[in-house]
Amino acid sequence: MTPVFAPNVEVLTPEQELEQLENNERLNTLLDRVDAGEKLGKEDAGWLDKTLARHQQLLEELGLLEEDDEDLVEGDDLWTRFMDAEIDPAQYEDKEDKS
C-alpha cells in the first residue's frame, strides 16, 4: 500500500501554528462571548475546548509556560482566601473547666 499525501499542504512549525491560533478570529470571538457570560452551543464549546487544549500544548512544547508563576498565583490565591476569611480568634482560646 502506497502512502497518500495531500498535495500543497503546508506544514506549520509550532511557532507558526501558535501565532495562527492567537490571531484566530473565531477563537477570539468565542473567548469574548464566554468572558461576557454567554453560554456557547455544543459545537462552539467543543471547538473552543479542542483549540484551547492545542494552544496549551503548543505553549508547553515551546517552553512558553512559566510554571513558577502558576505556583505563585496559586499561593497568592491561598493567601487571599486566608486573609479574606472571617475568623473569630476567640474560637481558638483555651476554655477553662470551672466545675
Tell me: the pLDDT tens digits for 74-97? 556 777 776 677 766 666 666 665
Buried b / exposed e along 9-47 (16+ C-beta atoms within 10 A): eeeeeeeebbeebeeeeebeebeeeeeeeeeeeeebeee
Q: Are 59 and 65 in contact (CB under 8 A)?
A: yes
> pTM, whole model, 2 decimals?
0.59
Quote the pLDDT of residue 59.
93
Q: What is the pLDDT of residues 12-54, one digit of tens each?
A: 999 999 999 999 999 999 999 999 999 999 999 999 999 999 9
d(CA 83, CA 14): 42
